[in-house]
Amino acid sequence: MPSTNLTGSDREFLADLQTLLADPAQQDNPMREPLVRLLEQFLGQRERLERLVRISDGYHHLARDQRLSLVEQYDKQVRRLEKLARISDRYQNSLRELSLALRDAALHDPLTGLANRRFLMERLREEADRSKRLKRGFSLAIMNVDHFKHINDEYGHEAGDLVLQAIARAIESQLREYDQCGRWGGEEFLILLPETPLDQAQAVLERIRVAVAEINRVGGEISTRLSASFGLAEHLHEENFSATISRAYQALYAAKAAGRNRVEQA
């Protein structure tokens, strides 16, 4: 049997004992048989111990490898979760941006970039509630581009679209920061002037009227002179804002009947 775990003196003793027991002269020695059994038990126990040591070493190596494997698996899982988190963040940001873009598209006119009728209705409700709560009025105007059908018939609908875009920019250039304008429909625009009495609103609309009249050419094709008519009304605390709009329309019809290119008050 191997004796690699024995010291030098132990190996020598074991070798001497094995030589002695193998000596024919000792065959009849009454101590030989007990020594043989004792040596066999010793060697058997030693082999079992060495096997246990090997098993123990293997277990420790396996446990270490498993620990390393678990750490590697944990690190891999952490990296995977971090990647998923980054993807999730990007996905949520994309959804947020898409939601904002969809809301913006739902509330703005695609041709002029101004607020659309839906957005204007929301603002009018808010302003009417605010006016009722704070007892502060506001004015609104319906603006209509004069002879717009003639522009479409003469130059085509694409040219008409360019005219509406140019007029939208002219309106924006004359409004104050807290004013609101939007495309009400077709060639009509609604202009909301918060906390603005009729005389001040009249001055704002006159500036817009002049700005529209000063548009000379649009898209290098249209040379006709542009003008617009306005119907102006001041919101009354006790009325619904739809009633204010109706009064503004009545003033607009009066402006058209009076020759266009003017502001009429309700």
Summarize pLDDT for 180-228 with one digit per residue, the tens: 999 999 999 999 999 999 999 999 999 999 999 998 777 666 667 899 9
State the DSSP code for 194. Answer: E
Q: What is the mean pLDDT of residues 153-179?
A: 93
Summarize pLDDT for 38-77 with one digit per residue, the tens: 777 777 777 777 777 777 776 676 666 666 666 676 677 7
Q: Alpha-carbon distance 161 to 151, whole Å? A: 10
Per-residue three-class SS string for 222-256? ECCCCCEEEEEEECCCCCCHHHHHHHHHHHHHHHH
Of 154, 144, 147, nearest to 249 by C-alpha is 144
Q: Alpha-carbon distance 128 to 120, whole Å? A: 12
Q: Alpha-carbon distance 178 to 266, whole Å? A: 23
- DSSP for 75-112, written as a single string: HHHHHHHHHHHHHHHHHHHHHHHHHHHHHHHHHB-TTT
Bigger pLDDT: 107 or 9? Answer: 107
pLDDT at 106: 79
CATH architecture assigned to 117-265: 2-Layer Sandwich (3.30)
Q: Alpha-carbon distance 11 to 16, whole Å? A: 9
Domain boundaries in the chain? 8-71, 117-265
Q: Alpha-carbon distance 111 to 163, whole Å? A: 11
The model carries a pTM of 0.64
Torsion angles phi and psi, residue 233, rounded to 5: -140, 145
**Residues that are catalytic:** 187
Q: What is the mean pLDDT of residues 252-259?
A: 97
Residue 150 has pLDDT above 50, yes or no: yes
Q: Count of alpha carbons within 13 Å of 110, Cβ hemisphere only?
A: 5
Residue 256 has pLDDT above 90, yes or no: yes
Contact 146, 261 (CB under 8 A): yes
pLDDT at 212: 96
State the DSSP code for 5. Answer: T
Give the list of residues 6+ apart from residue 152 with CB closer than 8 angstroms, or none.
Answer: 159, 160
173 — pLDDT class (breaks 50, 70, 90): very high
Percentage of the chain beyond pLDDT 70 is 83
Summarize pLDDT for 75-93 with one digit per residue, the tens: 777 777 777 777 777 767 7
Do β-strands 228-234 and 263-265 pair in parallel, antiparallel, or remain unpaired? parallel
